[in-house]
A and B are shown apart, each in its own frame.
Chain A
Amino acid sequence: MTKLTMTVNGRSVSGEVEGRTLLSTFLRENLGLTGTHVGCDTSQCGACTVHVNGLAVKSCTMFAQEAAGADVATIEGQAAADGTLNRIQQAFQDYHGLQCGFCTPGMVMAAAALLKDTPKPTEAEVRHHLEGNICRCTGYHNIVRAIMAASGQDVAPVAAE
């Protein structure tokens, strides 16, 4: 077992891990941050996406020890301290960009990474960026719309009648 320390959502945390302990396991089991989900074992689904030093990373594909000393951001740190959703989270609710919610943390973290580098993405850019995040519920239609809306672009309201 190795002791490690990292910053998660602005707070310094430490724990003891095996060499094989994944970052996703460390977050979920050691820190109790169960918002980061594990949906596959081949790095395809992206439900475990977090940010490590500002970059979107699939936390099931990184050993916890590789993140020693790093600055890690997870879904639990995205809303304001008073619970107010950030603009991406709020857009996902406003545009019904989630159903079962299991892929959602990874989608929100992936979207945040996209909008940091590409503040006004096209629909094609959003779809391309989500290549590594699988959703089985929404058909991506409303996820794409939510991300476009979060970027400040005009999107028709849901269920326009």
Chain B
Amino acid sequence: MPKDQGIGASSKRREDVRFLTGTGNYTDDINLMNQTYAHFLRSDVAHGVINGIDTAAAEAMEGVVRVFTAKDFEGVGGIPCGWQVTDRHGEPMQEPKHPVLAEGKVRHVGDPIAVVIAESPELARDAAEAIDVDITELPAVIDMKAAVADGATKVHDDLTSNLCYDWGFVEENREAVDQAIQNAAHVTTLELVNNRLVANPMEPRVAVGDYNRANDEHTLYTTSQNPHVIRLLMGAFVLGIPEHKLRVVAPDVGGGFGTKIFHYAEEAFVTFAAKAINRPVKWTASRSEAFISDAHGRDHVTKIELALDAEHKFVALRTDTYANMGAYLSTFAPSVPTWLHGTLMAGNYITPLVYVNVKAVFTNTVPVDAYRGAGRPEATFQLERVVDKAARELGMDPAELRRLNFIKPEQFPYDTPVAVTYDTGNYHATLDKALALTDYASFDARAAESKARGKLRGFGIAHYIEACGIAPSNLVGQLGARAGLYESATVRVNATGSIAVMTGSHSHGQGHETTFAQVVADMIGIDEAQVDIVHGDTARTPMGMGTYGSRSIAVGGSAMVRAAEKVINKAKKIAAHLMEAADADIELKDGQFSVAGTDKSVAWGDVCLAAYVPHNYPLEEIEPGLEETAFYDPANFTYPSGAYFCEVEVDPGTGKVEIVGFTAADDFGNVINPMIVEGQVHGGVAQGIGQAMLESCVYDDNGQLLSGSYMDYAMPRASDLPMFEVDHSCQTPCTHNPLGVKGCGEAGAIGSPPALVNAVIDALHRGGYPVDHIDMPLSPSRVWNAMQSVK
């Protein structure tokens, strides 16, 4: 019987009420007294030298408060990068300066040149049009391979080339992998593109800067997934504001998907300008502006080779990837194609030798950084496509080739050849689950029925692994992270027993206010309504690293459990005193402390009251009050995995693909709220299908963004998607965190693109069109053209 409260219950989300009644508090809903409005004048060319900026006409316009350019930011730091990758020769990556406003050169369409602050958004926009910028356009560097060819125009004149780094992993395996591939019985090779995407949370970015001159305090309201990270990066590296004078608030945030992790120039600008003009400054992005200023995602070009022996066992894997960094290094950009990608190239398989080479390249495009999955979708896509192709070449069932090479359940913990150790997993179980749910055995009958209607039916399989719950600080420190990746929580018990949990995690749709409360209420045995979750404000929560990489419950939840355990331990001492028993004999169940083996008990609320009204209290042993903080640094990543199956029909006359079935069988370890977990998978799968079928961020050769609005960038609509069948009953709990949880936020976006592409390729082969590969998105024209190419 399903639980109605606590861990494992599908508790309804408490945050829904405000969102459903229009009473949420998103950043653009915040308006401060005497507020001004900023409008950014952005480059309309991809690459050019700024000869001069004439702001006189704009400054003379009615309602204009002030116009800022780069000269106002002399002495101010650049936007920092949070991760330094070391290349295969032991050299640090090339790291260009990223100024708040363009200095001397513009490097992508959207690069901010000047900002007008005015009394209204309309006046600011009008005045920005009156700024005269004299730019000499330079050739744009757009194609990655051309960017690193000899004689290429440089995006940054002070760097030696457009190559950010040339990374090899595992470098010591390089020759052994080459040798193994040369000697292998069979080698399957595939060249593919992981298409560039725009995250597109529905809420565009907004930043409001406020300054209090009387006490020299700054407040930034911003659409961020991690307010403390913004406070640290902006305060310490850009503006030089000490933490105790800088508060960052990320209130209700309308989706993030990675693109709201990063510290952006607009945040630093409004904070800086609010002090300069001594008035609040608000900036709200339009959607068009978001397309040219939010960090983009993916954009890899890869050649992958999988070597197999005569028994069809994998012996070696080699990849060669070009990864686009865009014009500047966004906050975590260097880590995405390297440590979040190379370490997952073993997938679910026993592959003794792996070598991953990644060349990160600067181009005259918007910076590229983490988008839902970040590196892991790119790894999974390559691997699951090449495994599928190998199965076809060898005449094997794709499920059987996977099963043959899976890490076996008894082999966990499993040390991969790419530096990570999977603690738990059972890939056979998730594969079998998905096979059962999709009625794989009767596929041929369904294909025949489709054929009778003139359609080509295909079945696609993908199995993914991901690394979540990032990350052990000492490990990521060695890998170049300039931050720790612990999480924090304070559990504050009130005198009457209700609880406020201040978490360093941040919810921007995930429902922490509900799930985190379920955990604490379950631990104590009180009603969930007695627990409130506070997040998103550096003034109210302990130093936390925020939410991304499916880390909230695995890392933030663990910190909360540790803090709650401290509270419970202290409460037991108080209860022992009240009942004149030994601490060790106190048990807590259903909100009652009892003495083991007796009928003595005292209620949770009475113990809490005693902590704050300590008349009868062990003051000589413990302090009054009941509030504890914990910082949790994970011992390892967590490793969710799963089988994603997609069934499609292709119209051979038009190349149009229709998804007729989509099934996800995931292993997330223990699950706190099944309803919310399933919702996360639905959303992830929708974004993965979006990548595979619809979405693509396209630049022309001059660096103009052709897909710069919802008119041109195909966001998935309701009619593009099917109902999804999702299952999370295969559970191998994580062994190194207290809840046994793994994280579920990114899985859908990782597993679904290869499942869909494999299904379409399968449909074409079955229909007599032996197409090896089609790059995403699988638009009707791409599918149709591929079919014609093999006719």
Contacts and interface: CB of A to CB of B under 8 A. Distances in A.
B702 to A, nearest CB: 23
A47 B202 contact: yes
Contacts of A158: 10, 674-675, 678
A134 B2 CA distance: 33
B304 to A, nearest CB: 29
A37 B682 contact: no
Interface stretch (B57-65, B358-366, B716-724): B716-724
Contacts of A133: 718
A159 to B, nearest CB: 4
Given A100-B253, A159-B678, A140 B17 contact: no
Nearest to A33: B22
Interface stretch (B468-476, B503-511, B519-527, B588-596): B503-511
Contacts of B510: 99
20 contacts: A39-B287, A41-B287, A42-B287, A44-B711, A85-B21, A89-B21, A93-B20, A96-B675, A100-B255, A100-B509, A102-B255, A127-B721, A128-B719, A133-B718, A134-B715, A137-B509, A139-B748, A141-B686, A143-B718, A159-B678
Interface stretch (B23-31, B69-77, B160-168, B557-565): B23-31
B716 to A, nearest CB: 8
Given A99-B509, A134-B717, 10 more contacts: A18-B122, A34-B22, A38-B28, A40-B286, A44-B715, A98-B19, A100-B201, A128-B719, A140-B686, A159-B674
A101 B24 contact: yes
A139 to B, nearest CB: 3
A100 B260 CA distance: 13
B718 A104 contact: no
Contacts of B676: 96
Nearest to A141: B682
A137 B19 contact: no
Contacts of A35: 21-24
Interface string A15-49: 00010100000001000011111111110110100
A45 B200 CA distance: 11
Interface in A113-141: 123-124, 126-128, 130-131, 133-141
B686 A139 contact: yes
A76 B204 CA distance: 21
Contacts of A134: 202, 710, 715, 717
Given A102-B254, A127-B719, A136 B21 contact: no
A75 interface: yes
Contact of A20 (B22, B122, B287, B678): B122
Interface of B: 2, 10, 12-13, 15-24, 26, 28-29, 122, 200-204, 252-255, 257, 286-288, 508-511, 674-679, 682-687, 709-711, 715-719, 721, 723-724, 729, 748
Contact of B682 (A38, A78, A126, A142): A142
Contacts of A103: 202, 254
A20 B10 CA distance: 46
A83 B685 CA distance: 34
Given A41-B287, A101-B254, A141 B723 contact: yes
A53 B662 CA distance: 40
Given A18-B122, A41-B709, A103-B202, A76 B22 contact: yes
Contacts of A124: 719
A41 B286 contact: yes
A127 B716 CA distance: 12
Contacts of A75: 20-22
A36 B202 contact: no
Nearest to B286: A41
B254 A161 contact: no
Q: Shortest 10 CB-CB distances between A and B: which pairs?
A: A35-B22, A101-B19, A102-B254, A139-B686, A100-B509, A44-B710, A159-B674, A99-B509, A75-B22, A40-B287
A100 B679 CA distance: 11
A101 B710 contact: no
Contacts of B254: 37, 39, 100-103
A101 B509 CA distance: 7
B647 to A, nearest CB: 17
A139 B21 contact: no
A96 B13 contact: yes
A34 B27 CA distance: 11
A47 B12 CA distance: 23
A135 B255 CA distance: 10
Q: Which of A96, A99, A126 has the largest count of B CB atoms less than 10 A from its CB? A: A99
A153 B665 CA distance: 28
A76 B29 CA distance: 14
A34 B287 CA distance: 18
A99 B679 contact: yes
Nearest to B748: A139
A62 interface: no
Contacts of B26: 34, 37, 102
A83 to B, nearest CB: 8
Nearest to B715: A134
Contacts of B122: 18, 20
B724 A139 contact: yes
Contacts of A71: none
Given A40-B287, A140-B721, A159-B674, A98 B202 contact: no
Contact of B709 (A42, A78, A123): A42
A56 interface: no
A137 B711 contact: no
A139 B747 CA distance: 14
B721 A76 contact: no
A57 to B, nearest CB: 16
Contacts of B679: 96, 99, 137-138, 142
Given A35-B21, A35-B22, A93-B13, A139 B287 contact: no
Contact of B20 (A18, A36, A41, A98): A98
Given A102-B202, A158-B678, A40 B709 contact: yes
Contacts of B202: 37, 39, 45, 47, 100, 102-103, 134-137
B28 to A, nearest CB: 8
A104 to B, nearest CB: 5
